[in-house]
Amino acid sequence: MTNSRARVLVVLGVVGILTFGTITAISFAQGRFSSGLTRTISSCGPNRPQGTIVHITLSDRGGGMMGAGNLIMVGLGASPDSVPSGLVTFIATNVGALNHEFLILPAPRDGVGTRAVGTDGKIDESSSLAEASASCGQGPGQGISPGTSSWVSLHLAPGQYELLCDLAWHYANGMFTPFSVR
Ligand SMILES: [Cu+2]
């Protein structure tokens, strides 16, 4: 190999490395190499949250068809799960890929998770005390879409409560948690 040809190859190699590096950097900047598992959570919430703040996390690893016999992984967590009586603001954030909602009801006599589920996959909501199911909004709505929050405030007396999501089959698949007011 002549000296000049070797020099040309070295230059081409350097140009190639620089080009690859630039494309890689641009791709990272554009998020092309992101795992796809990270979900952008919008920062919407109440302007001036009142009373005790409870953060509700609505999650799933679901998808696909839902029905009486189909299992989906759904979950509902509350932090904290016990508060003093009085005004409480629940801020429910959907970190999953499915729509969800948030309801609070007095705990059933036989304990959380024991409500009857109808053929439509839902429970009897008639004793619901409050609902947050608006995407980036307060109170009832069309469901909390992935990556958004909904919130609701209410006065709670001491007692045992159940927090849940009543979209079809979510309760049946475990989307509930106990909550106590002391
Ligand atoms: Cu749900």
| DSSP secondary structure code for residue 175 in this structure | -
Q: What is the pLDDT of residues 133-147, one digit of tens each?
A: 999 999 999 999 999
Asked if residue 44 is part of any domain, the answer here is no
Asked if residue 46 is part of any domain, the answer here is no
**Dist CA 46 CA 55 (whole Å):** 12
Q: Are residues 93 and 165 in the same domain?
A: yes
Q: Are residues 174 and 138 in the same domain?
A: yes
* Contact between residue 130 and residue 101 where contact means Cβ atoms under 8 Å apart: no
Domain encompassing residue 127: 52-181
**Dist CA 156 CA 107 (whole Å):** 13
What is the Å distance from ligand 1's center to 32 Cα? 29
What is the Å distance from ligand 1's center to 91 Cα? 15
Q: Are strands 130-132 and 137-138 parallel, antiparallel or unpaired?
A: unpaired
Asked if residue 47 is part of any domain, the answer here is no
Q: What is the pLDDT of residues 70-125, one digit of tens each?
A: 677 999 999 999 999 999 999 999 999 999 999 999 999 999 999 999 999 999 99
Closest to 88 (Cα-Cα) out of 156, 159, 162, 176: 156
What is the Å distance from ligand 1's center to 61 Cα? 11
Instruction: Give the model's pLDDT for residue 20.
Output: 45
Asked if residue 103 is part of any domain, the answer here is yes
What is the Å distance from ligand 1's center to 181 Cα? 23
Residue 18 pLDDT more than 50?
Answer: no
Q: Are residues 56 and 146 in the same domain?
A: yes
Q: Are strands 52-60 and 86-94 parallel, antiparallel or unpaired?
A: parallel
The radius of gyration of the chain's CA atoms, rounded to the nearest angstrom, is 25
* Contact between residue 178 and residue 77 where contact means Cβ atoms under 8 Å apart: no
* Position with higher pLDDT, 18 vs 79: 79
Closest to 116 (Cα-Cα) out of 59, 43, 166, 47: 166
Q: Are residues 90 and 122 in the same domain?
A: yes
What is the Å distance from ligand 1's center to 75 Cα? 8
pTM of the predicted model as reported, rounded to 2 decimal places: 0.76
Asked if residue 66 is part of any domain, the answer here is yes
**Dist CA 159 CA 161 (whole Å):** 7
Q: Are residues 124 and 56 in the same domain?
A: yes
Q: Are residues 72 and 153 in the same domain?
A: yes
Instruction: Give the model's pLDDT for residue 150.
Output: 98
Token reading at 117 = 């589920």
